[in-house]
Chain A
Amino acid sequence: MSGSWPLARRSQALAQRGAIFTRIRMFFQEKGYLEVETPFRIPAPAPEAQIDAIPSDGWFLQTSPELCMKRLLAAGYPRIFQICRCWRDGERGTRHLSEFTMLEWYRARADYRVLMDETEQLVRTAAGVDTITYRGVEIALATAWERITVRDAFLRYTDTTAEAALSAGTFDELMVDRIEPKLGIGRPTFIYDYPASCSALARLKADDPSVAERFELYLGGLEIANAFSELIDPVEQRTRFEAEAAERARHGKHSYPVPEKFLAALAEMPEAAGIALGLDRLVMVLLDAESIDDVVAFTTEEL
């Protein structure tokens, strides 16, 4: 019933999206990163409690290329990036597509602080301008970006603490309702040092093991990227996967096979940091689009 106009009216957005992708690829080339492609259909996704993979003929569509990319790191590839499709079951809204485009990059012998700096450079390059306006809010990209810990964000924007919110089961609601709308306003925000229980594949902080070396980037209240200093201890990783798998079972979710090849590769993996950035959302912010639907060629509903 629907004609081709909804597709045609996005032509400018898609042209700008293409230009942003081109700038991103050039950025990584200049920094000596190799562009890689790993399979979309995998036998064993990382068992994360809140991320559901879509089954595909006995295997699964990837929710992220993380496990395969870390196996490449372990095999000696020091700097790799990938732009690919990922699928997350049941995630659909004005900022979510069940099938979306992810940019992930991994860097050996680096930690999450190095990636914060690199992420700043990447976003500036992708934007190509010093200041953007998203939904009426100005965001200055050229000057220093805000960096705030999760603990401080709870103290500043809620009337409880991150620890109390976690034990009361209100951490996610407060994050969405109170904290996220305050992040990335006026300038981009890195919110970092997440509670250890929210970071299944991240390394804990040496001087404070109650938090993990994980950060998220926000622009205009919108979550754009998630990064860690990677956990490279296979024993610890297996224990965390078991805990996440138990959590999935408690909620009656799919169980996945244990990703044994990934766990075996972790023993060979150098210290590294990695980041996953939602490209559709980055394009949304750079184009000041109201919905993620406005920056993709097709939504699922249009097929």
Chain B
Amino acid sequence: MYTAADLRKGLKITIDNEPYIITHFDFAKPGKGQALYRTKMKNMITGSTLDRTYRSGETFEPANLEDRVMQYLYKEDDHYCFMDNSTFEQIHISEDAMGDAKNYLIDNLQVDVLLFREKAIGVDVPNFVNLRVVQTDPWVKGDTSGSDSKPATVETGYVLRVPPFIEEGELITIDTRTGEYSTRVKG
């Protein structure tokens, strides 16, 4: 059982017997007033969205999802194929259900496939993944501002902002919860 204080982006809860994932969360509290928890959430099956504001003290049922460790094999048309390493069973998941996880899929990556009543509805990737930079503009020498950043494309095609010293061919660690650059992998 969750309370309003547990609400955060990425939390999965059950509303009217359907699993929802919280896509936006913010905390509001007008001066001297009560805490309000404002959420936007997405139905994990239908994709429909809800906006709800909760007060402290309200409680939530976790979404009863089963997750199974699987390995990413390949992409075919608009489906992604995964295999259960213990049973060798293979499943396909649609691109829509993949969400941001598709930005981090490299061959043989271990992921948690989420099942709701036996049906695969999405995947959870590790919090940190290492991906190689395949394109980024070179750093202009003499630019030493520490707060600057530049776009870079990694091997999955995902584009993110990185510090200026990152060069093509380097391996970087990305925080998949935020989609942001975390560190350079010392090679």
* Chain A residues close to B by CB (< 8 Å): 1-3, 5, 8-13, 48, 50-51, 90-96, 171-173, 175-177, 180, 198-200, 216, 223, 226, 251
Contacts and interface: CB of A to CB of B under 8 A. Distances in A.
Contacts of B28: 93, 95, 176
Contacts of A3: 182-184
Interface in B131-161: 145-147, 149
- Tell me which of B29, B57, B145, B183 has the highest count of chain A C-beta atoms within 10 A of its own C-beta: B29
Interface of B: 5, 25-36, 38, 53, 56-57, 128, 145-147, 149, 163, 173, 175, 181-184
Contacts of B181: 5
A84 B175 CA distance: 33
Given A12-B147, A93-B28, A180-B30, A2 B57 contact: no
B173 A1 contact: yes
B36 A9 contact: no
B53 A173 contact: yes
Given A96-B27, A177-B53, A251-B57, A2 B175 contact: yes
A90 B163 CA distance: 33
Contacts of A198: 32-33
A223 B36 CA distance: 15
B177 to A, nearest CB: 11
A93 to B, nearest CB: 3
B183 A223 contact: no
Nearest to B149: A9
A5 B27 contact: no
Contacts of A50: 29, 32-35
A94 B29 CA distance: 12
A195 to B, nearest CB: 11
A93 B146 contact: no
A172 B147 contact: no
A51 to B, nearest CB: 7
- Tell me which of B27, B28, B146, B149 has the highest count of chain A C-beta atoms within 10 A of its own C-beta: B28
